[in-house]
Structure formats: C-alpha cells, structure tokens
C-alpha cells in the first residue's frame, strides 16, 4: 500500500468516517474478550493471571492457544511455543505499519503493543498517513480497553459459576476464534491452509501431548505454499513444451 499525498481526493476521507470504522471494529472484537476470560478462568488460571495475559500479551489467537493447551494439561513451554508461533505474524504486520505510521521513535514501543490483526486491517484500509494514524489509534485504544474489561468480567463470571464445562462455556473461546477467522479466509490458498491445519491438529490430538498439535498445524502454511509453487512450476514447464 502506498500512502497518497495529502490534498488528493482520495486522501480527504473525513476523520469522522475513519473513527466510525475503527470504533466498529474495536467494539465488535473487543467484546469477545469475555469469551477469553471465561475460557482462561475455566481452564484453571486465576483472575489475575487471566487479566495479565490480556494486558501484557494482547493478541487473541495466541492467548486462546496458550490457555487451551494449559487447560488440556499441556507442558507450559509447549503451550507458550504454540502461542509464540501464532503471534509471529504481528512482527510482519509491524514491518509494514512502521512505514505507514512513521511515528516518532519514543512512541514506537507503545504502538507495537497494539499491532494486531484488527489494527493492521483498519490502518491498511486508509488512504492517507493521517487517516492511518487515526484508524490505528482509535482501533487499538478501543479494542485494548474493551478486551481487558471484558476479560475481567468473563474471568469473574467463570469463577462465580464454577464448572464452566457444565454450562458449555468451555466451547465459547474456540467458537469466537473461529467466528473471527472464517471471514478472513477469502482465497483458495487461505482455505486450503485452514483445512490442512484442522486436519493436522485434530488428527494428531489423540496421539501427541497437549499443545504439540498446534505446533504441527503451523506447518500447514508452508506445505500448501510449497505444493502450489511446485504445481505452478510444473504448469510452466508444460507450457514451454
């Protein structure tokens, strides 16, 4: 994405429209922190531990992966490794956003904490640097506040309820995660990666320790990309004959 110079028609997107879009994303996703709070507290983590994860980690998929593996009895190091690999994508987002935001050096460490799927999506959709900064900031602030607030409410609620499995709330986290992920699978390659990851994760679940199937499922992306590259190469050679 190239940020156009200010003054063009495309760059004149009203601040109000940027804020509206950013608030829509921040509120919609931020409320799902309740599911994480329920999942984490129901999986055995304390309210303090649950809230610390949202405050300090703040990347939903990695948080769900970590508490899911721990709840299943997985090794903490394995669970942390799975969460780490899911969070690596944010580093690549940061490389692109650093160019678009062009923030002062003193602000970059604080902005880095808000580099997640939703803030990246809103920022990349903006036509000017001013709009990028506004969209990123409003989305990040809204989502961070709501995510942490609803995490606390979910954890307190799960602690008050007791056995979350009896209420079926143990499925809340995975259900929300899948609901957020599904609309993002817009290409055949993305759907192929998701399908292979599900097959690997579920297929290996009965035979590998908790947390390890998540790590193996991460191999789905390079496997699909390798297969597509090889198919394209074969098609190219056929065309040359």
pLDDT, tens digit (0-9, with 9 covering 90-100), for 134-182: 999 999 999 999 999 999 999 998 877 665 555 555 555 556 656 656 6
Nearest C-alpha neighbor of 174 from the set 25, 31, 36 = 36
Quote the pLDDT of residue 144.
96
DSSP letter string, 169-183 = GGGHHHHHHHHHHGG
The per-residue pLDDT for 89 is 83
Per-residue pLDDT at 220: 80
Tell me the whole-structure pTM to 2 decimals: 0.69
Range of the domain at 221: 187-241
Q: Count up the domains in the chain and report the number.
A: 2
Quote the pLDDT of residue 196.
85
Residues 6+ apart with CB under 8 A from 199: none
Q: Are residues 154 and 199 in the same domain?
A: no
Q: Using 50, 70 and 90 to split pLDDT, how confident is the model at 78?
A: confident
The predicted-structure confidence for 63-75, as pLDDT tens digits, reads as follows: 888 887 787 777 7
Same domain assignment for residues 197 and 178: no
Mean pLDDT, rounded, of the chain: 81
| pLDDT, average across residues 7-24 | 77
What integer pLDDT is reported at residue 2 of this predicted model? 41
User: Are the beta carbons of 75 and 211 closer than 8 angstroms?
Assistant: yes
Q: Which two tokens stand for residue 154?
A: 């979910």
Same domain assignment for residues 109 and 208: no
Q: Pick the residue with more confidence: 122 or 203?
A: 122
Q: Are residues 52 and 125 in the same domain?
A: yes
Q: Does residue 5 lie in a domain region?
A: no
Whether 2 is in a domain gets the answer no
Are residues 155 and 235 both part of a single domain? no
């Amino acid at each position: 994405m190239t940020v156009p110079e200010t003054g063009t028609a495309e760059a004149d997107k009203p601040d109000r429209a940027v804020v509206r879009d950013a608030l829509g994303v921040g509120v919609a996703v931020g409320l799902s922190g309740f599911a994480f709070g329920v999942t984490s507290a129901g999986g055995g983590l304390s309210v303090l531990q649950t809230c610390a994860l949202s405050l300090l980690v703040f990347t939903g998929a990695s948080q769900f992966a970590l508490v899911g593996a721990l709840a299943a009895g997985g090794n903490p190091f394995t669970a942390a490794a799975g969460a780490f690999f899911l969070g690596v994508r944010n580093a690549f987002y940061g490389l692109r956003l650093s160019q678009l935001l062009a923030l002062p050096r003193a602000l970059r460490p604080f902005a880095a904490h808000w580099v997640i799927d939703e803030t990246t999506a809103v920022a990349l959709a903006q036509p000017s640097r001013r709009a990028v900064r506004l969209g990123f900031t409003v989305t990040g602030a809204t989502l961070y506040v709501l995510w942490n607030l609803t995490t606390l409410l979910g954890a307190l609620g799960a602690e008050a309820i007791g056995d979350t499995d009896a209420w079926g709330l143990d499925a809340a986290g995975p259900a929300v995660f899948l609901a957020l992920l599904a609309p993002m699978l817009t290409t055949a390659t993305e759907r192929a990666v998701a399908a292979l990851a599900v097959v690997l994760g579920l297929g290996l679940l009965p035979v590998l320790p908790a947390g390890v199937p998540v790590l193996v499922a991460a191999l789905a992306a390079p496997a699909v990309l390798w297969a597509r590259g090889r198919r394209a190469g074969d098609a190219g050679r056929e065309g040359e004959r």
